[in-house]
Amino acid sequence: MKVLVGLLTLLLAHHPACAVAAQKTLSFQVDGQKVVGTLEVPDGAAKPAVILLLHGFKGSRNELEIPSLKEGVFTRAANAWTRKGLASLRIDFRGGGDSEGAFEDTTISGQVRDALAAIEFLQTEKSIDPTRIALVGWSQGGAVAAITAGRSKRRLAAVALWNPMTVPAASSEAILGVDVVKAGLASAGRPTAFKLPWGAEASLKTAYFEDLFSVDPVADLAKYTGPVFVAVGTHDTAIFPQPELGRMLLAYHKDSGSGSGRGADELWVRPMDHVFNVFQETHTVDELIEATGAFLVKHLH
């Protein structure tokens, strides 16, 4: 796997008591296309555990910018977890951010390939411990994380899902509209254009819509035997109803066998929307980051 290492910078995170973190931009290849990511490692840490962060639909590796802080949700999380001694790798899925490819070629299965390739890339990274890897996925990235957890050939120490897309076909019909999904299925490979509820415009080819009916995050997560943290919002109008979908994920996971996941799972429920109320306040997202970090530290150390 070809690795291109970008600029290495040292930065001081926003908290005055935090340690310096080494941050570098890197890339690896998936299906002949470049996937770009940011690796953040606590300065002076000897082979720390690492968290792979998977962004949502039309997102990027730093994720949604918190208006009052001018900082991406994933950037803020990575900085906070660095202070707990954890490294992180946040990637742009192909077709988004700085990675190669066109967004219209996106499929959930393709993003799973990106995530699996990122896990394999981490096996070659000398600054982290490749035997202690966790996944964090938000929204569609949560579906990708759940599927990846069930399919990874590498042991994953823990998985955290934030407002995860649990039933992709149903969620897409709710978010995009039934007519858009029907048009996408009938488009014979051509892009179908649509407008998202928050005003952004996008287009996707037939493969995305067909893939919605062939992937099953609940079934794949049930194959994973490690601990799972699921965070859901009762005010989420994108992935709903909650907390019922979150409970369903964990109900099937707990019945999946006698692995370490039994009894270690956690369902975290708050009166938050799909973006953790960041347009109104920052307490909820910081509470989520802290709760997730505590869960990961428990299972990565």
CATH numeric code, 4-300? 3.40.50.1820
pLDDT of residue 15: 40
The whole-chain average pLDDT of the chain stands at 92
pLDDT of residue 4: 40
pTM for this prediction:
0.92
- CA distances, 31 to each of 182, 285, 289 (Å): 28, 35, 33
Q: Which has the higher per-residue pLDDT, 45 or 119?
A: 119
Mean pLDDT of the 146-159 span: 97
Separation between Cα atoms, residue 80 and residue 65, nearest integer Å? 16
The residue ranges of every structural domain in the chain are 4-300
Q: pLDDT tens digit string along 215-266? A: 999 999 999 999 999 999 999 999 999 999 999 999 999 755 444 445 799 9
- On whether the CB atoms of residues 156 and 149 are closer than 8 A, the answer is yes
pLDDT of residue 101: 98
Q: pLDDT tens digit string along 77-91? A: 999 999 999 999 999
Q: For residue 169, give the 3-state DSSP assignment.
A: helix
pLDDT at residue 8 is higher than 90:
no
Beta strands in 65-144 (DSSP E): 65-66, 71-72, 87-91, 133-138
Q: pLDDT tens digit string along 274-288? A: 999 999 999 999 999
The pair phi, psi for residue 8, each rounded to 5°, is: -100, 125
Q: What is the torsion angle, in degrees rounded to the nearest 10, for the CA atoms of residue 67, residue 68, residue 72 and residue 73?
A: -100
